[in-house]
Amino acid sequence: MKYPKLFEEGCIGTMRLKNRVVMTAMGCSLAEPSGVPGEKMIRYYEERAKGGVGLIITEITRIDDETGVGTPCQLSVTDEKVIPQLTLLADTLHAYDTKLVVQLHHPGNQTPSRLIGGKQIVSASDVTCSVIGEKPRPLTTQEVEAMVKKFIKGAYLAKAAGCDGVELHAAHGYLLNQFLSPHTNHRTDKYGGNFFNRMRFLTEIIKGIQFTLGPKFPILVRIDGNEYIPDGLTKEDCIDIARYLESLGIAALNVSCGTYESGYTIVEPAALPEGWKQDLARDIKKNVKIPVIAVNTIKHPAFAEQLLENGVCDFVGTARAQLADPEWTNKAMAGEDVMIRKCIGCMECFRILNLGRALECTVNPVLGHEYRYGEERQKKDGAGRTVAVIGGGPAGMQASLTLAQRGFTVHLFEKADHLGGTANLAAIPPHKELLAEFVETQKAEIEKAGVIVHLNTPGSVKAVQEIGAEAVFDAIGGDPICPKLPGVEKALTAEHVLAGEKLNGKKIVIVGGGVTGLETAEWLSTDNEVTVVEMLDKVGGSLYKASLAMLEKELEKNKAVIRTGTMLAEIKDDRVIVKNAKTRFREEIPCDTVILAMGVRTNSALETELKAAGIRTILVGDAEKPGQIRDALQAAFRKAFVYE
């Protein structure tokens, strides 16, 4: 076996796990509005159990309906009505020898009041979370005592439903963490002050669960290894907490880090590498004897194996890795690393979740829709019928894969001598290496599926007719937007530059502050003087705030200048003329090269030719509507999924 440590059996309390892979808790907002797990949530978790995970820890699970709501469609253990469906979830996962732990949660001051009917949010003290921006009221002593009982009831309901344990979420700045941390706990009653008083809330919950359910029912606690905020919990504080919790008889510790206020340390964008925080778990593991689970931005099975070999943790927490590919574990066991769709760290999952929607993923178009697009619902009715796909970028490869899996004979035409399209260029800026790996995975997928690939072959009416295709999926992408302005012929596009076209000098103006413009600016600003010009009031509008923050940090470090509310007016040989988007005041910026990163527009030429020839044409990706890779992959998958 390629990864013997990863697939070694292990124990957490009375739970015997078939391997060391844990799907740690992530909010998914897939429960029914009532809080029970319905078909959406059960199918979501079932796919990961089917994919080989040893232990699944549910999303944040509500224990208090009045002040403890985390997402609009959040799993809940506040009422006995959840037991039948929660039992069904547990039974479903147990069929795959996967254990189920329910994570008990209260957000405290890290929830907006709109989620709790406009009532004032609560916390240990009246400390405002700067990200939420709403001042909480401190829970009274009696309310804290009542909250202890709610956590205990949640554990009781989880056990009654046949779940294998519970996890108390005492990390990430949520309510239990707010009592532990001196940053948020300024109380003067028995729940505030010294270390033991700050631990009292969590202690009473643990002791209450043990008394109610017996000492053998596994209790896990998720803790921070460092809060990374001023006057918050340090690494040393967290080690003390870990040792104290072990003395209470808990089954395991699940180590993470950060709070909402620590920014990108809590959920890391692509710029933070695998294992950047492994010292946190390692140092805690050195100080306790109970098992340690740890998340470490794991993308690759080889890295997970290395963490286990080096004694960083006893179980590896794979979070977004399981969103990107529910078969991550089985593929790792088979040694098929290249077939794993690895999380690219784009943070689209969290951006979408923060909009109040269920989870979605850039590289996994099925995520959150397993109940609609699961393999069991996929028709295998291709019967060898021939379909052409034109354009070998991510959307074209996804359409080809889905059609081939349905039994169609698929011919993929690509005008270049390689597949991947503009994704190959998008993978060039810093920290985008995983996008290049995704392209390699797609290549391996379509090869395994039997897609017939024609490189150096532009798709055309003649080519389609020669193979006898009944339809064409047009995935040729779009063309870079080039405004009709004086001197625009002097400009390069971001695609030109990323492809290696030579710059005229060191002073560069990039027009467009979207993803492409900012990432190109980051790439070039290490060796050049870069100014980004954006007509809107802010840059990176489509980026998750943590990803944008890291990009802006790098650009600031490299002394790049960002000019918002500024429009391109004219390009000269040695300068560019811009104007204020509101006042229209014009000014000059000296520069040697102007790079256009203003997005793309659809190219309808091929569609027109195909339809004129009477060939059925289905548009996907930028050929239909310009957007992000996630949009393109979803459209390609869904249209290929329902094609008849």
Orientation angle between helical segments 394-405 and 433-449, nearest 10 degrees? 30
Q: How many CB atoms lie within 10 A of CB 140?
A: 11
Helix (H, G, I), strand (E, B) or coil at 235: helix
Q: Is position 45 annotated as part of the catalytic site?
A: no
HEC assignment per residue over 100-149: EEEEEECCCCCCCHHHHCCCCCEECCCCCCCCCCCCCEECCHHHHHHHHH
Contact assessment for residue 220 and residue 293, using Cβ atoms and an 8 Å cutoff: yes
Contacts of 280 (CB under 8 A, 6+ apart): 225, 226, 235, 238, 255, 257, 294
Sheet containing 492-493: which strands, arranged edge to edge? Answer: 492-493, 593-596, 507-511, 529-533, 561-563
Which one of 156, 174, 191, 544 is the catalytic residue?
A: 174
Q: How far apart (Å, rounded) are the C-alpha atoms in residues 31 and 29?
A: 6
Q: How far apart (Å, rounded) are the C-alpha atoms in residues 350 and 19?
A: 28
In DSSP notation, 315-365 reads EEE-SHHHHH-TTHHHHHHTT-GGGS-------HHHHHHHTTPPP--SS-T
In a 13 Å sphere around the CA of 521, the CA atoms on its Cβ side amount to 35
Q: How far apart (Å, rounded) are the C-alpha atoms in residues 541 and 354?
A: 14
- Residue 123 has phi, psi (to 5 degrees) of -160, -175
Q: How far apart (Å, rounded) are the C-alpha atoms in residues 260 and 127?
A: 13
User: Which residues form the catalytic set?
Assistant: 174
